[in-house]
Amino acid sequence: MAAKGATSSGGAKDGTSDSSSSSKKNSKKPKYSRFTQQELPACKPILTPGWVITTFIVVGIIFIPIGFASLFASEWVVEIVDRYDEDCVPHNYTYNKLAYIQNSETNKTCMKRLIVPKQMKSPVYIYYQLDNFYQNHRRYVKSRSDKQLRSRASERDTSSCKPEAVRGNNYPIVPCGLIAWSLFNDTYGFSVKNKALEVSKKNIAWKSDREHKFGSDVYPKNFQSGGLIGGAKLNASIPLSEQEDLIVWMRTAALPTFRKLYGKIETDLEANDEITVVIQNNYNIYSFGGKKSLVLSTTSWIGGKNDFLGVAYLTVGGLCLFLAISFIFLYVIMPRPLGDPSYLSWNRGQVNIWSKTVRHSFVLMKEIIFGKKAGNHMLAS
């Protein structure tokens, strides 16, 4: 009976061990490591008042001069912005601008005069600015074929270009898609004192775009040949890698108000010079309530005219200095005693070792003075 009992109990133990081993195999508990448990050595600085105040002062001293330098650089930039979409509409079309722009027989030529406020040293950059034009719309952005733009062998890759993908009997449009179809087609001519200013369009696009995204063996085909014309036409004898107006336009903007580079004037413009601008107002922004502006601008080491960067640096630097001064006053007027760093979590192990050492020392002293039983009783407690 005892043997049977022993056998049954042994079987129970075997069953328990099997179940525990199977549960270990099926466990989803991750394998222990110091990395996953965040127990690796790390730098854990203690932010004392001295460190915090010093950090704020250093940041303020660095940021404020950078802010002033950025603002001065922005002030040196000379910029002329002229909105012309309303001024270039004839008076009889004032209340029907859409009919004016859609009518191919109306005269689209417009003349504007701009005064140079300060000397503009070459190169003077020419931009066109569009407002309320959402180039970042998902369907608009996807309506292009990068493979077709890069290589002549992929000119029939137009699956992503609808509705401007093919023409007639499935002849591919090159370049296809809505972005290319809506290419900006206003033109500008400049003159000062009846002398024409040459506008250079060389290197207005990114070098990486010209060399890697637009092929030198890809030529326009069937472009703007349908019934509905979206924008500018392209010269079929020039490869896409050399059509820089198209390359600039194909780099879509992230915001509804944007500027794109039209060209450069390689001549200095003197203060109070009167620039005569002849504009061909062809691009339709009236159907969606957009705006068009012509921008002439010089540049500095931070780029075009933009006060935001300088103001941001001055704001952050000034705020840091203000906080540093505030903390100094608080520390002087209402000082606060610092805590003991030995109680911090990463120092707790060292504290425990020290406390055990002290405790054992007391135990030994107790044994010596009162006998071994008293020492054992203290250890048990």
pLDDT digits (tens, 9 = 90+) for 226-275: 778 889 999 999 999 999 999 999 999 999 999 999 999 999 999 999 99
Cis ω for the linkage preceding 239 (within 30 of 0): no
Q: 331: pLDDT confidence band, cut at 50, 70 and 90?
A: confident
Q: Which long-range contacts (CB under 8 A, 24 or more apart) does 329-335 make?
A: 331/49, 331/53
**Do both 206 and 321 map to the same domain?**
no
Paired with 199 in beta bridges are 265
pLDDT tens sequence across 164-180:
889 878 899 999 999 99
**Do both 128 and 69 map to the same domain?**
no
Q: What's residue 357's pLDDT? A: 57
Paired with 265 in beta bridges are 124, 199
346 belongs to a structural domain: no
Q: 12: pLDDT confidence band, cut at 50, 70 and 90?
A: very low
Mean pLDDT of the chain: 85
**Do both 260 and 119 map to the same domain?**
yes
**Do both 56 and 137 map to the same domain?**
no
User: Domain limits at 145?
Assistant: 78-298
Task: DSSP for 300-331, please give it.
Answer: BTTBSS--HHHHHHHHHHHHHHHHHHHHHHHH
Q: 28: pLDDT confidence band, cut at 50, 70 and 90?
A: confident
**Beta-carbon count within 10 A of 221 CB:** 16
**Do both 113 and 58 map to the same domain?**
no
**Do both 326 and 188 map to the same domain?**
no
In angstroms, the CA 158 to CA 143 distance is 9
16 belongs to a structural domain: no
In angstroms, the CA 106 to CA 283 distance is 13
Q: In terms of DSSP H, where are the helices of the chain?
A: 2-26, 49-76, 97-102, 138-142, 146-150, 178-181, 207-208, 244-250, 308-333, 348-370, 372-380
pLDDT tens sequence across 286-324:
999 999 999 999 999 989 998 999 999 999 999 999 999
**Do both 136 and 269 map to the same domain?**
yes
Q: How confident is the model over 211-220, as a mean pLDDT?
A: 93
139 backbone dihedrals φ, ψ, rounded to 5°: -70, -35
User: With contact defined as beta carbons under 8 Å apart, do 277 and 190 qualify?
Assistant: yes
Number of alpha helices (DSSP H) and beta strands (DSSP E) in the chain: 11, 11
Q: What's residue 46's pLDDT? A: 76
User: Residue written as tokens 């009919």?
Assistant: 99
> Which pair of tokens denotes residue 240?
């896409």
> Which pair of tokens denotes residue 205?
């696009």
What is the SS3 assignment for 221? strand
**Do both 278 and 307 map to the same domain?**
no
70 belongs to a structural domain: yes
55 belongs to a structural domain: yes
Q: What's residue 55's pLDDT? A: 94
353 belongs to a structural domain: no
Paired with 109 in beta bridges are 280
1 belongs to a structural domain: no
User: With contact defined as beta carbons under 8 Å apart, do 127 and 304 qualify?
Assistant: no
In angstroms, the CA 363 to CA 344 distance is 28
- Among 278, 298, 318, which residue terminates a domain? 298
Q: For the chain, what is the largest distance between any 2 Cα atoms, rounded to a whole number of angstroms?
A: 125
**Do both 252 and 318 map to the same domain?**
no
221 belongs to a structural domain: yes
Q: What's residue 31's pLDDT? A: 80
Q: Give 230's DSSP letter.
A: -
Q: What's residue 356's pLDDT? A: 54
355 belongs to a structural domain: no
User: With contact defined as beta carbons under 8 Å apart, do 278 and 111 qualify?
Assistant: yes
**Do both 221 and 306 map to the same domain?**
no
> Which pair of tokens denotes residue 53?
């105040």
Handedness of CA 253, 254, 256, 257 (dihedral sign): negative
**Do both 246 and 309 map to the same domain?**
no
Instruction: Give the closest residue to 304 by CA, choosing from 59, 150, 130, 123.
Output: 123
As for how many domains the chain has, the answer is 2
**Do both 64 and 145 map to the same domain?**
no
In angstroms, the CA 128 to CA 110 distance is 15
Q: What's residue 375's pLDDT? A: 44
CA angle 198, 203, 205 (to 5 degrees): 120
Q: What's residue 347's pLDDT? A: 61
Q: What's residue 25's pLDDT? A: 62
> Which pair of tokens denotes residue 136?
């970042």
